[in-house]
């Protein structure tokens, strides 16, 4: 079922690619086209529009394709899907006037594995809307969800094959026997959600509460309804290059984080002193981290305060927007100079 849903999404991506390309041709000529790659095929739409409008293409790399497919076990490197996406990625890396990546590790990867010149790549890390994602108490929401008097672990985000959420269920099974006051709150959708809910029923877990995906403006409330937030991914080399946006949002809300992601994300967490790192896909380590935070409220307060302070200093949306504008200004400089000379 998860694989079928994934292939259905790829078909939807293809349909959007065509629609966006055709719609883009109807628009007036822009100064620059920005195409972002949470899904790769939209890059082709951006290239098509930039080609016909004769303007630069800035390709924003938020996921590494096709490497991210292999990381979640979808398609061998010699599969048709993998080879096709690799050709698309290589084409876009060549045709883009400039590439924006969200982590230093992404830049290193493109240089080492795709031979992209370093001067063609800029790093603009993800930012958070700090006025929207801010610390507050949510007693009414906790009561509505039946969480009053509970210690709540929040997982708010996509429930996909990449996230290794079996680790969470294993921890929940262990804690249900020893710490009945602890509840797990899972908010969102994803390709793995139905399987996880079936596993929940099979294990007769009563300490895990699934909530459907919420409107964007409601997400901060669910984050703040948790005492501690979880960020989990599978244990692969590729995921050492990522910085999950949800981790930054949890930090902005002043929530301590238990992080099961090594690499770039771990560096931020430990620099900020904003939570506890655990080995990815290690349910015993997750249980131990949870128990330690339950028993040491002073650590929770310190981690939460540090987290908010770090985001205000280094991760605000205003700061990242300023960096992006500087990149676009540099990309447009040769074009504007040519127009002036012409």
DSSP string for residues in 9-42: HHHHHHHHHHHHHHHHHHSPP-S-EEEE-SSTTH
pLDDT at 192: 95
Structural domain spans, the chain = 2-127+317-341, 139-314
Q: CB 177: neighbour CB atoms within 10 A?
A: 8
pLDDT at 13: 80
Contacts of 256 (CB under 8 A, 6+ apart): 228, 229, 274, 275, 276, 293, 299, 300, 303, 304, 307
Mode of pairing for the β-strands spanning 208-211 and 228-232: unpaired
pLDDT at 78: 81
Nearest partner of 260 among 275, 281, 243, 274, judged by Cα: 281
Whole-number Å distance between alpha carbons of 183 and 310? 28
> Span 2-127+317-341: which CATH code?
3.40.50.2000
b vs e for 202-228, b when ≥16 Cβ sit within 10 Å of the residue's Cβ? eeebebbbbeebeeeeebbebbbbbbb
101: tokens are: 């990546």
330: tokens are: 């540099």
DSSP symbols for 177-188: HH-TTEEEEEE-
Same fold, 2-127+317-341 and 139-314: yes
Sheet arrangement for strand 228-232:
208-211, 182-187, 151-156, 228-232, 257-260, 275-277
Phi, psi torsion values for 224, nearest 5 degrees: -75, -10
Nearest partner of 243 among 271, 211, 214, judged by Cα: 271
CB 170 within 8 Å of CB 283: yes
CB 142 within 8 Å of CB 152: yes
Domain 139-314, classified CATH 3.40.50.2000, yes or no: yes
CB 186 within 8 Å of CB 160: no
Per-residue pLDDT of the chain (342 residues; tens, 9 = 90+): 445 555 677 778 888 899 999 999 999 999 999 999 888 899 999 999 999 999 999 999 999 998 888 777 676 778 888 899 999 999 999 999 999 999 999 999 999 999 999 999 999 999 999 999 999 999 999 999 999 999 999 999 999 999 999 999 999 999 999 999 999 999 999 999 999 999 999 999 999 999 999 999 999 999 999 999 999 999 999 999 999 999 999 999 999 999 999 999 999 999 999 999 999 999 999 999 999 999 999 999 999 999 999 999 999 999 999 999 999 999 999 866 555 555
**The model's pTM:** 0.90
Contacts of 290 (CB under 8 A, 6+ apart): 153, 171, 175, 179, 182, 228, 258
Burial tier of 76 (Cβ tally within 10 Å: 0-12, 13-18, 19+)? exposed
- Packing angle of the helix pair 193-203, 166-178 (nearest 10 deg): 30
């Amino acid at each position: 079922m998860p694989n079928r849903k994934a292939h259905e999404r790829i078909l939807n991506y293809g349909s959007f690619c065509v629609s966006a390309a055709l719609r883009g041709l109807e628009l007036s000529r822009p100064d620059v086209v920005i195409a972002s790659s949470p899904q790769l095929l939209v890059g082709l739409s951006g290239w098509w529009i930039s080609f016909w409008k004769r303007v630069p293409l800035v390709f924003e790399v938020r996921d590494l394709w096709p490497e991210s497919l292999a990381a979640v076990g979808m398609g061998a490197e010699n599969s048709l899907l993998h080879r096709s996406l690799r050709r698309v990625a290589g084409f876009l890396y060549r045709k883009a006037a400039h590439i924006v990546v969200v982590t230093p590790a992404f830049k290193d990867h493109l240089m080492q594995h795709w031979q992209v010149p370093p001067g063609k790549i800029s790093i603009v890390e993800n930012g958070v809307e700090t006025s929207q994602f801010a610390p507050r108490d949510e007693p009414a929401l906790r009561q509505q969800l039946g969480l009053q008097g509970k210690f709540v672990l929040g997982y708010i985000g996509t429930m996909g094959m990449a996230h290794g959420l079996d680790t969470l269920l294993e921890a929940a099974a262990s804690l249900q026997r020893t710490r009945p006051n602890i509840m797990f709150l899972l908010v969102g959708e994803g390709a793995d959600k139905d399987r996880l809910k079936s596993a929940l029923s099979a294990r007769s877990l009563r300490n895990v509460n699934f909530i459907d995906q919420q409107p964007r403006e409601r997400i901060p409330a669910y984050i703040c309804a948790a005492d501690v937030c979880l960020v989990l991914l599978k244990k692969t080399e590729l995921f050492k290059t990522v910085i999950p946006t949800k981790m930054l949002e949890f930090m902005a809300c002043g929530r301590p984080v238990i992080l099961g992601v090594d690499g770039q994300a771990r560096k931020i967490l430990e620099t900020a002193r904003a939570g506890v790192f655990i080995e990815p896909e290690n349910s015993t380590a997750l249980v131990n981290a949870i128990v330690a935070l339950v028993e040491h409220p002073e650590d929770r307060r310190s981690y939460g305060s540090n987290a908010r302070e770090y985001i205000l200093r280094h991760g605000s949306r205003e700061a990242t927007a300023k960096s992006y504008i500087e990149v676009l200004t540099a990309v447009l400089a040769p074009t504007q100079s040519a127009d002036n000379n012409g």
